[in-house]
Structure 1
Amino acid sequence: MHIRADDLNVDWFSSSYSNDQGGQCVQGGRLSDTMAVRDSKDPHGPAFTFPAASWNEFIRAVSDGQFDA
């Protein structure tokens, strides 16, 4: 689901793997049972939300290399 980032009461964070790329990163925010994601270059723009279980499965798949080219 996508909503305006401003409509979420969340503390946004960047990955520890992000470096200073001039604000070019994805930021996340944890809600009770949801993970929100937004583009750091557009902090007032859209945010996408995912059920926590789905987000955790995605992170697990990335860590396992399932999306490596």
Structure 2
Amino acid sequence: MADSTWRKSSYSGSNGGQCVELAHTRAHLLVRDSKNPDGPVLGFGHEAFAGFVTALKNA
């Protein structure tokens, strides 16, 4: 994970708001708190995360 490229939304701005960052690995999509980059990281399979995003869009 140390060599992962982390990205966050361009809408997050630079005011230190509450944001998450995402990174891709071959098998997972990783999610972490942008304010705590050394904190815990959640890992999701790509299909599971795609299903989550689809559910959000349809909510």
Normalized against structure 2, the TM-score is what?
A: 0.84
Task: List runs of 5+ in structure 1 lacking aligned partners.
Answer: 1-7
- Structure 2 unaligned segments of length 5 or more: list them: none
- Note the C-alpha offset of 1:64: 1.0
Give the number of equivalent residue pairs: 58
> For residue 61 of structure 1, what is the aligned residue in structure 2?
55
Across the aligned residues of Structure 1 and Structure 2, the Cα RMSD in angstroms comes to 1.5
> Per residue, is there more strand in 1 or in 2?
1
By relative contact order (CA 8 Å, sep 6+), the higher-ranking structure is: 1
Alignment partners' CA distance in 2, 1:57 and 1:19: 27
Structure holding more helix per residue:
2
1:14 has 2:8 as partner: yes
